[in-house]
Chains A and B, each alone.
Chain A
Amino acid sequence: MSILEVTNLTVKLPDGADRPFAIEDVTLKVEKGQILCIVGESGSGKSVTAFSVMGLADRRALTPVSGTIKLDGEDILDIDDARLRKLRGEKMSMIFQEPMTALNPVLRVGDQISEMLEIHTDLTRSQRKTRVIEAMTDVRLPDPEKMYRSYPHQLSGGQRQRIMIAMALTLEPQLLIADEPTTALDVTTQAQILKLIKDIQRRKGMGVMFITHDFGVVAEIADHVAVMKHGRIVEQGSVAEVLGAPKDPYTQKLIAAVPSMIPPEREVATGQIALETDDLVKTYGQAGLLGQGRVVKAVREVDLTVRRGETLGIVGESGSGKSTVARCIMRLVDPTSGEVLINGENIASLREGQLRSHRRDIQIVFQDPYRSLNPRRTVGQSIVEGPVNFGLSMNEAKARAAELMQVVGLSPDALERFPHQFSGGQRQRICIARALAMEPMILIADEAVSALDVSVQAQVLDLLDDVRKRFDLAMLFITHDLRVAAQICDRIMVMNKGEVVESGFTSTVYANPQHDYTRALLAAAPGQIGPAA
């Protein structure tokens, strides 16, 4: 029996949007005890589908124009707000991507879960507390009695997501909607949360509608898959059908774009050493006025070398210190101690004036393509800024910018446009062009493809690999994504809590990880039974 039946649902976008409908003619079903994964890239309408089912979509902006959404036989689109509020929580509930913002930071988590019961049931205060503790035990939170009284900021990301799940499940809904619930989490935590959702779903026989952009996650958790593109479902079926033998070309393309966990054979780079660090340390916080203050060791004695023409990957979870290493090398933060050698010269303690001439040798591409270009300046102005700083005339710089736009696969006309006129992937290309305009020796890519959709990600990765060969760059590639690292890095370094726990050739490390943490990371990467592996 189906818990949720969406039939021919079409939702209109406001006038002036890039397409008339957010979702068009969407038909899908969630059966009892089944996990339906809706997969798609950004802008595919997967979240609009979820929000429409929850009745959370703003009906003035997103107007359902036809179709039905039947929850346990009742059409969500026909009922009034009071009834809808009752259904939310009792029959369906939702968990979100960002557990920190979905929880109220000034209320204890126990009280926040308890609020659900207060609104929807007649239980007394002590009965509610018992139920909340039960729910928290259910999601395997350690020491629920104590955790009941904690505030959200005292918990880790994974624990916060567990609280959200406990909150969603206290009223035992028949349908759970999960909107990218693991996207903001580290891989090891993600693996635990996925397992938890699956366990609870089995135990309670719920229907789950799980929204994700990650085929690895799909392979891990789904019974049934619907692939969305531009507001339409292009393919749906059982997980074996869709992943094993995709029929639609778009699905095939998406699955093919998922990077494989098996590193390809790579030649050993023999170029000269371009970048070297020696005992690099970065400590945050100062010793207090009276004795020991709070000191955080972000990076502990990191040694690395990168040769020209070689890509070194730094892999780790959030807080491992991998980005701090990059920022120390860039001298965007000052290292506490140790050496950063560029072409043999130590720049770790140079003053800004002396440092300036070295700046052009080393360039960086950041993670967030929306914030790394000044929105008030044209693409051209952003690209020529660096070369002009180092004495190139405006005309020469413009000519170089036009050339580089072609190298990164954009039209030179685009130089006159502003960043908001480009998509994320295009902006990342622009950032790469800006970095190359300096004619650097070393290129740092700090999570440069993490914010991109998988099909775009593959293109930008190809571009990075291409420019590395073309300009004989030494590349430092920082990522949390083991699949991406497998594809692009010659050697990798695994970092945990500021320390390098393992390093070596990518193929060796993946095939035969030595350190426990590396093993845990590799095991946690989702979807290893997936199509790409």
Chain B
Amino acid sequence: MTDQATQPAPGAAAAKDISLARIALRNRGVFWGGAVLLVIALFAIFGPFFVQDPTALNPINRLKPPGSEGLFGTDMLGRDVFSRVINGAQVSLVVGLFVAVIAVALGLFLGLIAGYIRLMDALIMRLMDGLMSIPAILLAIAMISLAGATLTTVVIAIVIPEIPRVVRLVRSVVLTVREEPYVEAAISAGTRVPTILVRHVLPNTIAPLIVQATYICGSAMLTESILGFLGAGIPPEIPSWGNIMSEGRTFFQLTPWIIFFPGICLAVTVLAVNVVGDGLRDTLDPRIARNMR
């Protein structure tokens, strides 16, 4: 091999700079899961403008089967189930998205510090161990009974037990990256710690974090529904998939559609999120990603 310096290494010219998004969309799971999520999101955002008021009571037409009165039938108060499911989608997506974003942001911050600054490591990690031992549902029920049932309380209650998982993930990445010679070169160049973290360490955590975020998103939606189903979630005047199912529970044998439609929506959404997550893991996993470089 000649090292006649000015020319790039053989094959290097062919190496393309492919963005993460481009690589990810080549994966079938990411593509189809993403497409399903996009459709659900469009329904959630624009649907409410086209359907009737989800809280409008119509006792004469109560418990009607799908097709006769509204697409998904009506519930025991004569409210349109289709309209309620569409509106409920907003709650699920908002909870999923917010929980994922907040948990990742806080976890990333704490994880970077714990992984890089030795003194803080033990302190943060023991705190995280403590948080991990709190059961999510019980914490949520406790918080809601103290602070009242609002979307914010629900989101906070679900976020708290998710943070330690993110912190552990980020910390493990930081611990390996901090030993890389390019990080040591940055230290030798007098780069300050916050800059090193943001410039040299953080980019390495992004791929695993995106994957982790999808799983958090899926499980947050499930937890929100469970809380709604238990009657401890979003207040009943705001339809969410959980509380629609909760209210339909008593009529399950008579009018199964009240539970069936929000249930199937929840299942499809969580499945889509998880399929995207699996696809992202396959494409962004460091070992596989390295082979693609």
Contact = CB atoms under 8 A, between A and B. Distances in A.
Interface of A: 16-19, 41-43, 330, 332, 352, 356-357, 359-360, 362-364, 366-368, 371-374, 376-377, 382, 385-386, 389-390, 408-411, 414, 417-418, 420-423, 425-426, 429, 431, 434, 438, 453, 455-456, 459-460
29 contacts: A43-B1, A330-B184, A332-B187, A357-B190, A359-B187, A359-B188, A360-B189, A364-B185, A366-B184, A371-B182, A374-B182, A374-B186, A374-B200, A386-B189, A389-B190, A410-B5, A411-B6, A414-B8, A418-B17, A422-B8, A422-B9, A422-B12, A423-B1, A423-B9, A425-B1, A426-B5, A438-B189, A455-B2, A460-B3
B13 interface: yes
Contacts of B17: 418
Contact of A455 (B1, B5, B184, B191): B1
B15 A420 contact: yes
Given A17-B11, A422-B12, A371 B181 contact: yes
B67 interface: no
Given A41-B1, A367-B181, A385-B191, 18 more contacts: A42-B1, A359-B189, A362-B188, A368-B181, A371-B180, A371-B181, A372-B181, A385-B189, A386-B190, A411-B6, A418-B17, A420-B15, A421-B8, A421-B12, A422-B8, A425-B3, A426-B5, A456-B3
Contacts of B10: 18-19, 423
B146 interface: no
Nearest to B4: A409
A23 to B, nearest CB: 16
B63 to A, nearest CB: 59
A356 B190 contact: yes
Contacts of A456: 1, 3
Contacts of B135: none
B293 interface: yes
A505 B13 CA distance: 46
A16 B14 contact: yes
Contact of B188 (A42, A332, A377): A332
Most chain B CB within 10 A, of A356, A417, A421, is at: A421
Contacts of A332: 184, 187-188
A385 B185 CA distance: 10
Dominant secondary structure of chain B at its interface with chain A:
loop
Nearest to A411: B6
B142 to A, nearest CB: 38
Contacts of A418: 17
A422 B1 CA distance: 12
Contacts of B1: 41-43, 423, 425, 453, 455-456
B251 to A, nearest CB: 56
Contacts of A42: 1
Nearest to A458: B3
Contacts of A360: 189-190
A389 B184 contact: no
A3 to B, nearest CB: 32
Given A17-B11, A372-B181, A374-B182, A389 B3 contact: no
Nearest to A452: B3
Nearest to A389: B190
A359 B190 contact: yes
Contacts of B185: 364, 366, 372-373, 382, 431, 434
B195 to A, nearest CB: 8
Interface string B42-65: 000000000000000000000000
B12 to A, nearest CB: 4
B24 to A, nearest CB: 17
B102 to A, nearest CB: 26
Nearest to A390: B190
B175 to A, nearest CB: 16
Nearest to B9: A423
A62 to B, nearest CB: 16
The 7 nearest A-B residue pairs measured at CB:
A386-B189, A18-B11, A421-B12, A423-B9, A425-B3, A372-B181, A18-B10
Interface in B176-211: 180-182, 184-193, 199-200, 203
A356 B184 CA distance: 14
Nearest to A372: B181
Contact of A414 (B2, B6, B11, B203): B6
Contact of B181 (A17, A19, A366): A366
A196 B192 CA distance: 52
A389 B189 contact: yes
A453 B2 CA distance: 10
Contacts of A390: 190
A372 B180 CA distance: 7
Contacts of B9: 421-423, 426
